């Protein structure tokens, strides 16, 4: 195998590595906003567990066990199982296809298509039930939301340096403070991602308060917009080759 692609992706020792293009940066920001919207529905309108933050769910599971609260245990287990299954599925689909700083591979984009379809199906169910699902429907929606976030997280891991975490940003914030602000090299895209998480959650919360049945629409729309942004470099490359 030639070393040329590897050098393009990682750079040579001692030289600054190439950074992802603006289109991929924007795609990541949109995915972060989508995860913020999903977490809002998951935590406030389902059973007060997170769809994509499994560290918190492990703590919530422990608290539910300590209180002997069956509903909390079920919700946390469903979220953990859904996220794990989604991440494993994304890993299988993207195996052997690592992203570069210029574009995300087709299997990764297919994972995001699957996520968008899953979220869209959840939005339909949510709307049909008027934003007030019963016990069984909440369990199904909780599992589906976590499954979608697992797919998204797995896809971003497969993208490598061409992406960033989109469902959990604690490590991102710590790294930004220590290696960015603390070292005098802040990355301007980190605050944008953090703001996107807040914006996605705030927008979804506003819809939940004013038109609950439509709250599920925002996450799949944001994922589709991320797909369009991520696909732009591929489209430009194909047009250039055809010319």
Supply the pLDDT for residue 96.
83
Confidence of residue 243 (pLDDT cuts 50, 70, 90): low
Contacts of residue 92, Cβ cutoff 8 Å, sequence gap at least 6? none
38-42, 169-173, 177-181, range with greatest mean pLDDT: 38-42
* Predicted TM-score (pTM) above 0.85: yes
Domains, the chain, in order of start with CATH, read: 21-47+82-234 (1.20.1250)
Q: Give the Cβ contact number of residue 113 at 10 Å.
A: 14
Supply the pLDDT for residue 156.
94
Confidence of residue 101 (pLDDT cuts 50, 70, 90): low
Quick one: DSSP state of residue 184?
Answer: T
Q: Tens of pLDDT along 191-210? A: 999 999 999 999 999 999 99
177-186, 222-231, 234-243, range with greatest mean pLDDT: 222-231
Q: Tens of pLDDT along 102-144? A: 789 899 999 999 999 999 999 999 999 999 999 999 999 999 9
Phi, psi at 18, each rounded to 5°: -65, 150
SS3 141: helix
Supply the pLDDT for residue 160.
86
Burial class (CB in 10 A: 0-12, 13-18, 19+), 5: exposed
Q: Give the Cβ contact number of residue 74 at 10 Å.
A: 18
């Amino acid at each position: 195998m030639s070393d040329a692609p590897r050098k393009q992706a990682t750079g040579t020792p001692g030289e600054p590595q190439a950074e992802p293009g603006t289109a991929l940066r924007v795609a990541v920001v949109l995915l972060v906003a989508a995860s913020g919207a999903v977490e809002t529905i998951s935590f406030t309108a389902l059973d007060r567990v997170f769809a994509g933050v499994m560290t918190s769910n492990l703590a919530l599971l422990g608290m539910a066990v300590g209180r002997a609260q069956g509903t909390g245990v079920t919700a946390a287990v469903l979220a953990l199982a859904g996220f794990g299954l989604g991440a494993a599925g994304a890993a299988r689909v993207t195996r052997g296809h690592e992203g570069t700083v210029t574009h995300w591979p087709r299997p990764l984009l297919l994972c995001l298509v699957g996520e968008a379809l899953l979220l869209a199906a959840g939005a339909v169910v949510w709307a049909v039930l008027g934003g007030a699902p019963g016990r069984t429907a909440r369990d199904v929606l909780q599992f589906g939301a976590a499954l979608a976030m697992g797919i998204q997280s797995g896809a971003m891991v497969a993208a490598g340096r061409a992406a960033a975490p989109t469902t959990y940003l604690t490590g991102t914030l710590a790294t930004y403070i220590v290696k960015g602000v603390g070292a005098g090299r802040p990355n301007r895209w980190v605050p944008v991602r953090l703001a996107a998480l807040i914006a996605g959650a705030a927008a979804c919360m506003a819809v939940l308060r004013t038109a609950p049945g439509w709250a599920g629409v925002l996450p799949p729309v944001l994922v589709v917009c991320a797909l369009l942004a991520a696909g732009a470099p591929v489209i430009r490359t194909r047009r250039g080759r055809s010319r």
